[in-house]
C-alpha cells in the first residue's frame, strides 16, 4: 500500500471529514452495510486517518483490545478495501515496515537481521525450546523463504487445519533444489492432497504445473506411487541411528503397542539430523503410512517440544 507518510498530529482527523469522497465511493455501489462492519463505509466513517498517501492507514475505535488500544488497518482506495486488522498502532506500523523492507528495500540490513533471528529460533526449536516459534511467523512478513518453510512445519505439527497444503505454495524457484523439500515435505504435501478422506487433487495439479522441473518430476513420482500403493513409506536412512529407532517402533506398531512405539521414536530423536537448514523435524513420521496413524495431535506436540538432533 502507498501510505505515504504519517500526518503531523495537528492534521490527523476522521476519514469522513478528510476524505468524504472515499466514503461516498464505497457506499454507492454496494448497498447496505452492517453498522459494525470492519470494512467499507462503516469502517471509514468511524476511523481516524493517519496517513497522507494515496492509500490509507486507519485507527479503528470500533475494535479495542483489553488494554484500550485501538486496532489499526490499511485501506486501499480500490478493491479489496480493508486489509487485516492489527491490534494496535505499533503492530500496524511494524506490518507496514515489514512490507516496505520486503518489496522495496532488497538491500536493507534488516534482511540479514531477520535471517539471524530465524536461525536462532531454528536452533532453539531443535533443542525442543518452543519459545521462539513466533519468530518464523514475523519473519515471513519480511519475505524470508526459510521462515515460510519452517513455519509451515510448525503449523503441521501443531495441528493447523490443512496445514500440509501450504507446502505446495512455496516459491520453489527461489528455494532452489533442497533435499528437505524433495524428500520430506513434498511427500507430506502429496499424502495430504491424495488423502481419500479429504482429497485436494486441484492443489496437487496446481503445484506440479507451476513447479521447476526437478520438483515437478518429484511430485508426479510421489503421486504415482501413492496412487499405485495407497500410501508412502518414509526412509530415514540419512540418519542411521534414528532409522534404527524407527525400525524398532515399526515392530511395536505391528504388534499393536502404540505407546511403546512412540517411546522408541522419542528415544531416538536425538540421533536424527536435518537434511538441510529448512528441516525442523522428521516430518516423515507424519506421512509414513504405518507410523503416521499413531502420531496423534498430542504426540506431534511432543515431537516439537523434544530435543531433535545432537
Q: Where are the beta strands (DSSP E) in 70-182?
A: 70-75
Where does the chain show beta strands of DSSP type E? Answer: 13-14, 48-49, 56-64, 70-75
Strands, sheet with 56-64, edge to edge from the N-terminal-most edge strand: 13-14, 48-49, 56-64, 70-75
Section 194-216 average pLDDT: 90
User: What is the average pLDDT value for the chain, to the nearest integer?
Assistant: 92
CB 184 within 8 A of CB 279: yes
Phi, psi dihedrals of residue 141, rounded to the nearest 5°: -70, -20
Give the pLDDT confidence score for residue 29 in this predicted structure. 60
How many helical (H) and strand (E) elements, i.e. helices and strands, does the chain have? 16, 4
* Confidence band of 268 (pLDDT split at 50, 70, 90): very high
pLDDT value at 196 more than 90 = no
Q: What is the mean pLDDT of residues 238-255?
A: 99
pLDDT attached to residue 31: 61
| β-bridge partners, 49 | 13, 58
| Share above pLDDT 70 across residues of the chain, in percent, rounded to a whole number | 98
Using DSSP, state whether 65 is helix, strand or coil: coil
The whole-number pLDDT of residue 217 equals 95
pLDDT at 257: 99
Instruction: Tell me if residue 105 falls in helix, strand or coil.
Output: coil
How close are the terminal C-alpha atoms of the chain, in Å? 45
Question: Where does the pLDDT of residue 94 fall: very low under 50, low under 70, confident under 90, or very high at 90 and above?
Answer: confident
Q: Cβ distance 297 to 199 under 8 Å? A: no
Instruction: Answer whether residue 78 shows pLDDT above 90.
Output: no
Q: Is the peptide bond before 80 cis (omega within 30 degrees of 0)?
A: yes
Query: Mean pLDDT throughout 22-42?
Result: 80
Q: Give the pLDDT of residue 104.
A: 76
What per-residue confidence (pLDDT) applies to 30? 58
pLDDT, mean of residues 256-263: 99
Question: According to the model, what pLDDT value does residue 76 have?
Answer: 86
Task: Quote the pTM value.
Answer: 0.82
Reported as a single tens digit per residue, the pLDDT across 124-158 is 999 999 999 999 999 999 999 999 999 999 999 99
pLDDT at 177: 92
Residue 64's pLDDT is 94
Amino acid at each position: 500500500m502507498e501510505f505515504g507518510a504519517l500526518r503531523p498530529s495537528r492534521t490527523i482527523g476522521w476519514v469522513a471529514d478528510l476524505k468524504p469522497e472515499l466514503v461516498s465511493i464505497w457506499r454507492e455501489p454496494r448497498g447496505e452495510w452492517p453498522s459494525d462492519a470492519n470494512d467499507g463505509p462503516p469502517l471509514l466513517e468511524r476511523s481516524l486517518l493517519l496517513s497522507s498517501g494515496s492509500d490509507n492507514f486507519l485507527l479503528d475505535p470500533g475494535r479495542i483490545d483489553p488494554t484500550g488500544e485501538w486496532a489499526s488497518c490499511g485501506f486501499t482506495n480500490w478493491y479489496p478495501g480493508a486489509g487485516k486488522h492489527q491490534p494496535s498502532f505499533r503492530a500496524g506500523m511494524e506490518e507496514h515496515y515489514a512490507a516496505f523492507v520486503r518489496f522495496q528495500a532488497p538491500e536493507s540490513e534488516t534482511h540479514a537481521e531477520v535471517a539471524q533471528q530465524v536461525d536462532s529460533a531454528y536452533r532453539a526449536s531443535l533443542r525442543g525450546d518452543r519459545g521462539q516459534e513466533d519468530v518464523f511467523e514475523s519473519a515471513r512478513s519480511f519475505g524470508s523463504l526459510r521462515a515460510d518453510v519452517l513455519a509451515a512445519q510448525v503449523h503441521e505439527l501443531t495441528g493447523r487445519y490443512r496445514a500440509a497444503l501450504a507446502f505446495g505454495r512455496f516459491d520453489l524457484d527461489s528455494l532452489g533444489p533442497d533435499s528437505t523439500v524433495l524428500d520430506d515435505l513434498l511427500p507430506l504435501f502429496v499424502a495430504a492432497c491424495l488423502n481419500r478422506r479429504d482429497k485436494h487433487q486441484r492443489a496437487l495439479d496446481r503445484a506440479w504445473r507451476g513447479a521447476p522441473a526437478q520438483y515437478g518430476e518429484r511430485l508426479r513420482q510421489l503421486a504415482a506411487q501413492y496412487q499405485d500403493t495407497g500410501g508412502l513409506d518414509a526412509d530415514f536412512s540419512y540418519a542411521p541411528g534414528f532409522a534404527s529407532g524407527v525400525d524398532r517402533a515399526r515392530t511395536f506398531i505391528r504388534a499393536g503397542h502404540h505407546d511403546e512405539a512412540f517411546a522408541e521414536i522419542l528415544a531416538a530423536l536425538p540421533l536424527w539430523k536435518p537434511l538441510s537448514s529448512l528441516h525442523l523435524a522428521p516430518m516423515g513420521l507424519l506421512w509414513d503410512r504405518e507410523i503416521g496413524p499413531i502420531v496423534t495431535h498430542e504426540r506431534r506436540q511432543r515431537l516439537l517440544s523434544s530435543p531433535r538432533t545432537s
